[in-house]
Each structure stands twice: as C-alpha cells, then as structure tokens.
Structure 1
Amino acid sequence: MRLARLAGLVAALMTTSTPAAAQDPMSALERPETLTRFFDALDAAGAGEGERPVHILQLGDSHTVGDMITASVRSRLQNSIGRGGRGVLPPGKPYALYQPRQVELFEQAWTAVTPGPGSAAMSGVGLSGSRALIWGEGSSLRIEAEGSAAFSRVVLCGATDPAAGTLTVRAGFSETAVSFADPTPGAACREVRLGEPVRSATVIGGTGAVDLHSVATFADGSGVVVSALGVIGATLNDLAVRDPAVVRAELDAWRPDLIVLAFGTNEGFDPFLDPFAYEALLRGQIAQLRTLAPRADILILGAPDAQRPEGGGTCGDEESLWRIPRELPLVRDVQRRVAADMGVAFWDWHARMGGDCSAHRLATAYEPLMRGDHVHFNSAGGDWIGQMLAEDLTAAWRARAVPAGAEE
C-alpha cells in the first residue's frame, strides 16, 4: 500500500505538461543514483512518516535570488507531498526589490547588508550572503507568510560573543527571548518552537547588539521546504570565502537533505577565468559541503545558456549583437566532469532550455520566457524551467521508488 501511495503522489507531480523545448526528463538529470538520501526522505514524507520536512537548500547567484525557479520547484513538490514552511531567508531585505515567494518581510529600523561579490566583507557572512547588525528595542523584522507557508518553528542564526545581546520572537500571544551571549566567540543557531502553526512572527531587537545572519521558518512533520539563498553577481568563490563558523552552525541547524549548487553564469562571463583553478575550487567546495553536511546529497545545476551583447553574432543572424561567452561552455564542461568524478548529481540546465542560443530564442519569442538581457528568466520563464527541474527530480524519484510492476 505504501508503494501504491507513493506511486499516486509522484504521478500527480508528473501530470503537468512539458514545454516543447524540454527533452526526455531522465536525460537531463545525470547520476540520480547519488540522490539516495534525498529520495529516502521523499519516500518518508510521501508516506506521511517524516519527522521533519524534506529540506532542499539552493545556493547560487541572481537566478536563485529571484526565487522564481525555486518557487516553481517548491510549489510543485509542496502541492503533492506537503508543505514544510518557507525555509531559510536572509536576515532582512538584502536588496530593495527583493521579493521572495510565499512570504513578505517588513523592516523597522532594521537593515540587512549584502557585501558585493568579490569583496573581503563576503568572508564575514554565512550562507544567506547577508547580515544584519541589530541594536535597540525599536528595531524589528516581521515575517508575513501565505497560508501555504505557515510555520511552527523559527530558527535564528547569528554570531556569538560574551557581550552579544538578545532578540525576542513574538508570534501570536507568545514571546520568546533568544540570547546570543556566549563565553566563546563564534556562531550559533537558536530555535524557537511556537507550539502551533502561525502565519506571522516578528523578531524584535533588545538592549544589546546582535549580528544576525539568517532567519528560517519551518513547519513540523512531513512536507517539503525549498530554501533559496543567492547573491546577485555571485560566483562559487564567493561561497568559498563565507564565514566557516556561521556556515557550520547553519548547516547543523537547517539539516538539508539536498544541497543544490546553482553557480556558473557569472564565471562564464569572466574573460579571465582559469578553468583549472575553477575546477579545483569546485572540487574543494563539494568536499567541504560533504564534511559540513554529511546527511545531504548534492546536485550541481549546470550553467544555463546565456549571451552578451558585444557583437560577433553566434546567436541570431551574422549582424546580431548576441554572442555566447567563450568561457560559459568551459564552466559547464568542468561542472559535468567534476560531478561525474566526485559522484554527485548534475542537471543539464543548458540542454533543458534548448541548448546553444536558446536564451536568444526565449528572449525574442512572441511570448518571451527570458528578459532582454539574454541571461535572466522572467516570471513565466522561471516557472517553466523550474517545472522541468521538478519533473526531472520527480521522474528519477519515481523510477527508484516504484519499481516496474510494483502495485502494492
């Protein structure tokens, strides 16, 4: 019966129509057999036996910041398996136009700062890429969630110090004090259990200073949560230099089942890219994540197709401005080779969107799916490509979870 239930769940996920540009779902996801722990967690959640939500944590650049592709994956998995909350967020609005799906953030005397990619300050932040220095009782961050993102736990991660202050989490009629004072400077995550699902919580500053790095909302029990943590313009190197104490504390607290690495576009636009150094960096980051999050599987999203308007006409007619950067295919090749060598999953984003020059076709279509910059997806395009990623993951899970001929 359990297999039959799982079959029904995954079949529901596969009922959405696949756009013409999509290929065979199984051909885009390479080495799905490396996602065993993630699929095991989906099995438990699908059968209603999960003790906590299945957590997908995506780390990346502006494609991730926009939360369009991740929102598409999130909605499809949550609608079929269950809702696990909204997941991890920056400690405030990292950008003026930041609009995460399912939640809204309201700040009062509260400012989150995101260092620019490549800056030395990037070494002072955690996986959200942002930090907020909070001082004073007049400061607050209110999280308002849609009904589909109701939560029963709030997790705050920040720096610890003997002189660190206290925050208060207010939800409904309850208030819980959270202290980051600790004799040993470092980082820690504090969890506040709310007792029942809520749609709103406010984090309030206290009398001391708190260096906050992330805020997360989770539901209890089975379900799926997809966290999208990106920095505009970021490269894998910006991830590598994050504060190791904060990163370790965050991964311990968040317990991701699948870590998605969605970097590569900005590296592919770097005319000075050293592919050998990039390969060493990628190998090092995979090894580091395996050490810090041993329970998590890893999926690399291969760099998508994109062009720059500098002439050369590799896309469009010979007079076209749009050219594929020479380094972009190199980045993709390194990602695929490293994934194969280190035994992690790889999703061929480039092939799924239609191959070379697909960004040009999608940006100039009658109903475009990409913006005019030939790099970023619009809202419809984000939902479109996210649907394919969700379908590819689900198809692989289905093939493993429901063997041919199994009916009960």
Structure 2
Amino acid sequence: EGEEPFAEVEVAERVAPIERIPALAPHEDDAAPVERAIENAAALDPFFAALTRTELRMPGAITRATHYGDSAIGNDGITAAIRGKLQARFGDAGHGFHLLGQPNLSYKHKGVSFQEKAPWSGCFIIFGCRKDGYYGVGGTTFQSTGGAEIKLGTAAKGPAGRKVSRFTLWYAAQPRGGNLRLKVDDEEPIVLSTKADALADRWHTIEVVDGAHALSVRAAGGGKVRAYGVSLERDGPGVVWDGMSQIGAYTRRMLHYDEEHFLRQLRARKTHLVVLMFGGNDMNPGFNLAQYKADYAALLRRVKAIGPDTACLVMAPLDHGEHKGARIVTRAIVPTIVEAQREVAIAEGCGFWDTYQAMGGEGSMGRWARADPKLGSGDLAHLTHHGHKVIGAMLYRALMASFREYRGRVVDTPLVELGAGFSGPPGGEGASEVISAGASDVAEETDAAGGEAAVDTDDATDTDAEPDGPGGAGVAIPESDDEPASDATPPGDPTSPTTPPAATGP
C-alpha cells in the first residue's frame, strides 16, 4: 500500500536512419553540477562508444558495465543507484548478473526476486578455496550433488526489474558432472548434463516473452554440479549494470582467479566497462604500499587484457573516519590508498574517480554520518541507504559529463567508426547436452538442507525521494567535524565473513 506504481521508462526510438554521429541532445540531468570529474576519462571511450550506439537506438544495442567492489557495494546500493539513473535515460536492458546463492547475508540485490529453496554449497573467492581458480564471473562457485535449488526472477514491486526476456545460466562442465534442471514459470523443465572430459566454462540461454518471469535452477543428481549464477537481460537498446560485490575482500583477492578463466568469463559477459571499488579492507596495520601497487597493477592488466572493447574505471574507496578527541577525522591511510589507486589506474590506462574527494575529502565521513538524512553509517566506514544513492548519483553525473565530452569529439564522424560492438546474448562457446524436456524421469540424489528460505530483494524503500548529492535538495551535511556521530561504533566491517572454508581441489 502507498507504493509507487510501476511505470516502465519510455525512451524515444529514432525514426530515421543516420550515417553520421549527431550532436548529443540536451538532457535535464546535465544541468546539475559535477562534484568530481573522472580523471583520464578518455580511457572510457569503448564504454562511451557502446553508450552512443544505445543512445542512437541501434537495434539490440546493449551497453554493459560490470562493477566489482567490497562491502561499499555489498547490498547493491551504489550499483542499483547508477543502474537506475542510466536505465531511466538510455533504456532498461535488464538487471544483469546475480549469484546462485548468498555468499553472505549482505548479498541482497535490488530489482529482483530471489529464493533459496534449498541452499547450494558455496566457495567465495576471498577465501581462496578453489585450487583451480574457477570462481565464475561473480566471484563465487556453487556446487551440489542433488537437491539444491534457487528461484530467481523479476521483481514483484518497486521501480525497477519488472521485466526480463532472457535468462543465461553460467556454470561449469566437468568430469563426472551431474545434471541441472531449469524451469521457467510453470513451463516444462529442461535437464542439462554437465559431464565433460575436463573442467570447462559453460552457458545456457533461455529466451522468454518480455515480461515478468522466474527461473528455477536445481541440482538434479547424476553427479556433482558446479554453477556460478544467472544473468537477467532484455533485448535492448538499453543499459545493464552488474553489481559484483566481494564483501570483505582485499584488492589482491581478485588475483585468486585463474587468469584464463577470468578473461573467458568477462569476454563472455560482453561487458564494455569493468569498475573496481576496493580498498576499504586493505586499510590495516600490515599495509605494504609497494605490494599494494603491484597487486592493483596486476589486476588492471588482467582487466585490460579482456579486449579493446572493454574499458576500466577505478573508484577510490569511501572515506573512513576515526575519533580524535571531539572530532571525527579521516584515517591517515585513506589518502595513501587513494593516491596509490590513482597512480596505478592512470599508468595502466584506466579511468579514475576519486570517491573520497567527491565526498568532501578530509573528515567527510563524520559529516556524512551527521547529515540529514544520515548518509554515513555509525561505523564511519560504510554508507546508509541514502548515502548509496548520493554516491551513485555523483558517479552518474561524472560519467555523463565525460560522455558529453566524448560526444563532442566524435560529432559528425561516420557512424560506422563506432564499430558493431558485441553481438548476441552473453555467453561463450560450448554448451552441455540437453537430456530431456521434462525432469520427472531423472533420479535425484539430495545433499542440500531442507526448508525454503525466501530472500525478498525487492526494495520497497527505493521509492523514497532520492537525495542527489551534498548540494541536492533535502541533504544537509554539517560543515564542522567537531561533533562525533551519536551512534558511532568501532571501525570494522560487521558484514564480513570470518570463518573461511577449507581449501578444496577441483
């Protein structure tokens, strides 16, 4: 009751074909000031070329971004805010990627419905628990010998995620692999065999009529199955912004991936932009600056190796505060990490956005924690629901400012110079055998715990008025750092997992 009614965003279709790139039409969002510009923004040209194809309403033109980060993006707050802004302007091409389960309780996406009917066993990349380095595009691999089941679909409420036209399952084939049962709505299920001579990445896409749908994914016996997650998309034109949170992760944990598997997964995702927002968990007494730079550079080189159609953007970590007498100040390590990320990002050919300075720099987390509405959490390391929206809106404005600059550079150039971009749905080569169109005759073993746990990730509070930034309507940030936040708690990440599972082999 009282919920904002769903109204799909209408993006005007282009009537006449064009041969040259026109000037970018003015948009009402572009009148707002940009709090912090993207540095080395020309590195994002592949993303902006894709966004131009989408803005020009070229058939099937989907612009994808894949956003990795630690708990700063843990509950899909910042990522959902950016997703919503871009989809409202350029078109809704779907929610994007969602894991097959919850690696921790803070993994809750907005704009989807999700049920763990019988949980899968998961291995989260931050623990380094797969010797083969196959963690899937989302950073967690799930397995079961039978009975584990999730149901993932469109949102039943809220302003986003109400339609889908394509589900793509991301999984692995392997020796002695078992069966996977896929069922859309009340349709007859299909069963996939995941047997293969060697460990290999696999994808299976199911097309549906654009609308509200849900997909059930169940381990159906016959051996152990391994899977990563599901992407939900629409035909486009439009934008997809993946939220790939790695809660509790040090930056270097991303190097746990087998490099070829990592590249294969991101190439199959057909993403135009990889965003990295790490650093919060690296702020510890054992921090080694030289090693940190080397690790970050190694990660960015892997991202750059995805291919020329994929750009990279480094987002600095949030400000992290601490009490100093009656004041809340920035922890001394924060500017050090921010500057290290800036240096490495630009050296490796990526864009850089200074989240710390966008917040206001020194002491900003204390001011955000006392803002009205409150933007910073009492732990002085994380943001509130409103704070996520503010950062998302800030990054959106910075991206659009750089996009306008890009369009100014390419105006009146032949449209063919944009290239064709990625074509077809996500996924790579290789598909497993479809055993049957029905699963009733497939014997199942069961290893999953019984009981159904519903995780309703529709976000009812997203219909609240949205604070757009420190200068935006309805946001008041104190100018002084002299008052501690009334609900401050000791620094730390209460959402981080604490007990790693034992390492396992393939």
Greater share of helix residues, 1 or 2?
A: 1
Distance 1:405 1:340, change over 3 A: closer
5 Å-filtered alignment, 1:215-254, equals 215-244=230-259, 246-254=261-269
1:104 aligns with 2:113: yes
1:129 aligns with 2:139: yes
- Pick the structure with greater CA Rg: 2
Distance 1:217 1:192, change over 3 A: same
> C-alpha displacement at 1:241, in angstroms?
0.8
> C-alpha displacement at 1:195, in angstroms?
5.2
Other structure's SS at 1:261 match? strand
Distance 1:325 1:118, change over 3 A: farther
Residues 72-112 of structure 1: CA deviation (Å, up to 9, x unaligned):
10001001101111111111122234321101210112235
Q: Does 356-365 or 44-53 show the bigger shift?
A: 44-53
Residues 320-371 of structure 1: CA deviation (Å, up to 9, x unaligned):
4x45333221111111111222221000111111111100110123421011
Distance 1:92 1:260, change over 3 A: same
Contact in 2 for aligned 1:158/1:213 (Cα 8 Å): yes
5 Å-filtered alignment, 1:52-67, equals 52-67=61-76
5 Å-filtered alignment, 1:8-407, equals 8=26, 11-14=27-30, 24-25=34-35, 27-115=36-124, 117-121=126-130, 123=133, 125-136=135-146, 138-146=147-155, 148-149=160-161, 150-172=163-185, 173=187, 175-194=189-208, 196-208=210-222, 209-244=224-259, 246-267=261-282, 269-308=283-322, 311=323, 313=324, 318-320=325-327, 322-402=328-408
Kindly provide the amino acid, as one letter, of the partner of residue 129 in structure 1: G
Cα distance in structure 2, aligned partners of 1:405 and 1:254: 29
Cα distance in structure 2, aligned partners of 1:132 and 1:370: 33
Cα distance in structure 2, aligned partners of 1:255 and 1:112: 28
Unaligned 5+ residue runs, structure 2? 1-15, 413-506
Kindly provide the amino acid, as one letter, of the partner of residue 143 in structure 2: L
> C-alpha displacement at 1:6, in angstroms?
4.0
Residues 298-340 of structure 1: CA deviation (Å, up to 9, x unaligned):
00001221124xx5x1xxxx444x4533322111111111122
Contact in 2 for aligned 1:60/1:261 (Cα 8 Å): yes
Residue matched to 1:7? 25
> C-alpha displacement at 1:297, in angstroms?
0.2
Kindly provide the amino acid, as one letter, of the partner of residue 60 in structure 1: G
Cα distance in structure 2, aligned partners of 1:37 and 1:404: 13
Identity score, percent = 25
Distance 1:204 1:117, change over 3 A: closer
Contact in 1 for aligned 2:125/2:254 (Cα 8 Å): no
Other structure's SS at 1:36 match? helix
TM-score (norm: length of structure 2): 0.71
TM-score (norm: length of structure 1): 0.87
Cα distance in structure 2, aligned partners of 1:256 and 1:178: 26
> C-alpha displacement at 1:131, in angstroms?
2.2
Residue matched to 1:21? none
Contact in 2 for aligned 1:169/1:175 (Cα 8 Å): yes
Kindly provide the amino acid, as one letter, of the partner of residue 344 in structure 2: V
Cα distance in structure 1, aligned partners of 2:99 and 2:261: 13
> C-alpha displacement at 1:210, in angstroms?
1.1
> C-alpha displacement at 1:404, in angstroms?
11
> C-alpha displacement at 1:133, in angstroms?
1.1
Residues 95-147 of structure 1: CA deviation (Å, up to 9, x unaligned):
234321101210112235253735545945234222221332x4321113137
Cα distance in structure 2, aligned partners of 1:404 and 1:254: 27
Distance 1:83 1:287, change over 3 A: same
Residues 37-69 of structure 1: CA deviation (Å, up to 9, x unaligned):
110110111111053421110011011222111
Contact in 2 for aligned 1:110/1:132 (Cα 8 Å): no
Contact in 2 for aligned 1:127/1:239 (Cα 8 Å): no
Cα distance in structure 2, aligned partners of 1:353 and 1:262: 15
Residues 248-284 of structure 1: CA deviation (Å, up to 9, x unaligned):
33212211100001111111x2111111111111111
Kindly provide the amino acid, as one letter, of the partner of residue 396 in structure 1: S
Q: Does 92-101 or 346-355 show the bigger shift?
A: 92-101
Cα distance in structure 2, aligned partners of 1:170 and 1:281: 42
Cα distance in structure 1, aligned partners of 2:219 and 2:129: 27
Kindly provide the amino acid, as one letter, of the partner of residue 280 in structure 1: A
